[in-house]
A and B are shown apart, each in its own frame.
Chain A
C-alpha cells in the first residue's frame, strides 16, 4: 500500500434481528469471508450504533456504507447514493433503522472530519419479521450487492483478491 492510499471504511449497517434489515451487516460478513483486501480497507459491522460509529468514520477518508434503503423500487433493487444525492435523498432518510447515519455524518462534519461517503442501498423484501437470516430472495441477490460494493471499493482506491478456498479468510 502506498503512503497516499486513502483509508477506506466499508460499513455494513442495520439490525440483524429483522430479516433484510440486516442486509448491510450480512454483506460485510460475506466480503470479509470471501475476499482479502488491501491494508487501506477496513470492513466493519456497524449494527445500529449511530454516534458510536463516529470514531471509525472520522478516521477514514472514504466511507462506503451498505444498508437497507426504502427507495420505492421493487425489492432487491440496489441504489447508489453519493454526495448531494446522499444529503438530499429522501430515500435514504427512509433507511429503516434510525441509527440515522445522515445525522452521524453531519456530526462528523461538525466535529471536523466528514469523509466522502457513498451508500450502497438495497430495497428489502421483508424487514418486519423478526429473524436473524436475510430472506431467501435477498440471499439470491447477494452476489449483485457484493459486486456493486467491490466496484465502489476499487473506485475509492482499495484492492482485493478472492480469499483462497478453505483459507483462513482473515
Chain B
C-alpha cells in the first residue's frame, strides 16, 4: 500500500459556507470558520420533519407508517418499520418468526443497496477524480486490479480501456452530467489517487449503477411491487406471496449477485482507495457512539429486542474500546436551545414538543430546524461506525475478524477508526458482514416455512391508552419512533432520526454535535472548493440528495455544484 502523503492545507482564514437547497430531505447548511487552513469552528444547520407530528395527531396508530415513510426521500422502509415497531410495542404484540425474518431480510437488502449506492454514487467523487482516469494506462490498471481483487472480466485491460473511451467521449462532448461542477474538475490538490485507481473506481462506479438496481429489486421481492413499503403491518407482515419458493429463490439469487459485487468489487475498491488516503484516518473523528442494535432475534419486548440483535446494541463513551454500556432509553433527550423551536428545555421523546420559532438564517444562537438529541447529555455518533465499533469492542466474532483484517491490510491502528476514513471503512465492513450473514437468515426463513409454519401476522387489540417505542438501526444509524396512544388514536408521535443525532446543532450546554465535532480541525486546501467538508459530511451519509451552493466569503458569488 502507498505511503500517506502530507495533507494539503491552505493559509486561508475566514468563513466558508456550504449550503444545499433541498426542500424535502431537509436543508443542510454547513458553516465553518477556517483559521490558517484549518477548520476552527463549525455549525450544522438543517430542517427535518417539521410538524410531522401535527399531521399524525388524532390518526389511527396503524396509519403512522404511511406518513412517516414519506418524511424522508429514500428511507421509506426504515420509517415504515420504526412506525410499525412502535405500535407493535405499544399494543404488546409478539410478531411471528416469519414476520421477524422477513422484516430483517428486507432491512438487510436495504443495507446492501444503500451502502453500495453511498460508496459509489454519493461519496466516491469526494475521493476519486473521474477526469484523471483519462490519464490511466489500462494495462497497468488491469494489473493493479488483479492485485487487489479476484480475477473478473470487467477488470481486464480491454474492459477498462472501453470505460476510458466512453468516459472520453462523455467529457469531449461536454456532457458531464452528474460530474458537472465536481470539485476535482481542473485538478485539486486534495485528490491524490493515481490515474489507474481513478480508472478502476470509475469503471466500478458505472458497474454499480447496474448492480444497485438489482440490489433494490431484492427489497421489492418481499416488499411488494410498489416502491413504497406496504408489507409491514402491526403484528407482522402481509406479503404471503413472499413465503412461496419462487419468491425465496428470486430473493436468494439477487442476494448472491449483490454479495459477489460486495466481496469482489466494493471491499477491494474501499481498501485500494483508503490505502492512498490514510491521512484521513486522523481527520473527522467523534467521541461517543450509540446503536440500538439491528436484526433482532426476539422482538417480544424492547429489552429482549436489544439483547438479541445480531449487531449488538450499546453505548461507547470517550472512544473507550474496552467498555460498552447497555442502552438506557430513558437517557435520551432532545434539546432545542440552539434550534428554531420555542424554549430551551430538553425533553424525552415521549414528552416531546414541537413549537417552531424561526429566527433568521445566520443566527448562531438558534440555527437549525433539527433538535439536538443527546444521550446522558452527550452528543452521540450513530451509523455504521457506531455499530462496527460497538460490535468490535464487544468481541462480535465476524466484526472483530474483518476489522482486524482491514486494519492489517491498511497498516493502521484501531485508533484510526475514529475518523472520516474509519466511518467510510465501517460502512463497507458491515456491508460485507451482513451480506455473509444473510445466507443463514434466508435458510432459517425457508426452513421455518418448510416445516409448516406459515404464520405471518399475529392478532392484537388496540388499547385505549398506551405508549411504545420502535427502534431501528437503519443504514444511516439509530432511529426511534415514539408513540403515545389515547382513545385508540395517536396523541403524540416523535421521530428521533439518525441525521439529527449526527447532524443536529449544539445542545443546551452549548456542546457541538457529531458532525460539528468531526469538522473541527479538518484541513482546507482550497476554500473555494472545500472537498474536505464534503468528505466528512458525506461520510455520515446525511439524508439529503441535493444541489449545493457555496457562497464565497467576501462576495455574493454563488458557485453551484452537486453534492452527488
**Chain A interface (Cβ < 8 Å from any Cβ of B):** 15-18, 21, 44-56, 58, 93, 96-100, 103, 106-107, 109-112, 127, 130-132
Contacts and interface: CB of A to CB of B under 8 A. Distances in A.
A126 to B, nearest CB: 13
Given A103-B178, A110-B209, A56 B55 contact: no
B209 A107 contact: yes
B54 interface: yes
Contact of B73 (A45, A93, A99, A103): A99
5 contacts: A17-B52, A47-B70, A98-B23, A98-B24, A98-B545
A96 B178 contact: no
A80 B74 CA distance: 26
Contacts of A58: 213
Given A48-B24, A48-B73, A53 B545 contact: no
B25 interface: yes
A49 B545 contact: no
Nearest to A56: B227
A100 B226 contact: no
Given A53-B227, A98-B25, A106 B178 contact: yes
Given A47-B228, A98-B547, A111-B210, A55 B76 contact: no
Interface string B110-127: 000000010001000000
B71 interface: yes
A106 B177 contact: yes
Given A55-B220, A100-B545, 4 more contacts: A18-B23, A48-B73, A48-B74, A132-B55
A18 B121 CA distance: 27
B212 interface: yes
Interface in B13-44: 21-25
Interface string B153-192: 0000000000000000000000001100000000000000
A67 to B, nearest CB: 13
B346 interface: no
B209 A17 contact: no
The 8 closest A-B pairs by CB, nearest first: A48-B73, A98-B22, A111-B209, A97-B24, A98-B546, A106-B177, A130-B51, A55-B213
Contact of A50 (B54, B73, B220, B228): B73
A17 B227 contact: no
Interface of B: 21-25, 50-52, 54-55, 67, 70-71, 73-74, 76, 117, 121, 177-178, 206, 209-210, 212-213, 216-217, 220, 226-228, 544-547, 562, 564
B496 to A, nearest CB: 18
A93 B177 CA distance: 13
B74 A44 contact: no
A130 B545 contact: no
A112 B211 CA distance: 12
B74 A50 contact: yes
A97 B544 CA distance: 10
A17 B545 contact: no
Contacts of A50: 73-74, 545
Contacts of A100: 545-547
A93 B217 CA distance: 28
Contacts of B213: 54-55, 58, 111
B178 A107 contact: yes
Contacts of B545: 50, 98-100
Contact of B24 (A44, A45, A96, A106): A96
Nearest to B208: A111
A17 B117 CA distance: 26
Contacts of A54: 209, 212-213, 216
Could you say which of A96, A98, A131 has the most chain B C-beta atoms within 10 Å of its C-beta? A98
Contacts of A53: 227
A46 B227 contact: yes
Nearest to B211: A111
Given A16-B70, A17-B70, A47 B227 contact: yes
B559 to A, nearest CB: 16
A130 B50 contact: yes
Nearest to A93: B547
Nearest to A22: B70
Contacts of A21: 23-24
Contacts of A127: 23
A103 B121 CA distance: 11
A51 B70 contact: no
B225 to A, nearest CB: 9
Contacts of B117: 51
Contacts of A17: 52, 55, 67, 70-71
A55 B210 CA distance: 9
Contacts of A46: 227
A15 B210 CA distance: 26
Given A50-B73, A98-B546, A99-B545, A55 B216 contact: yes
Nearest to B170: A110
Given A99-B73, A130-B50, A130-B52, A52 B227 contact: yes
Contact of A130 (B22, B55, B220): B55
A53 B228 CA distance: 11
Nearest to B166: A110
Contacts of A52: 74, 216, 227
A111 B24 contact: no
A157 to B, nearest CB: 22
A46 B226 CA distance: 9
Contacts of A55: 213, 216-217, 220
Contacts of B24: 15, 18, 21, 48, 96-99
Contacts of B220: 55
A130 B117 CA distance: 29
Nearest to A54: B213
B419 to A, nearest CB: 28
A101 B545 CA distance: 11
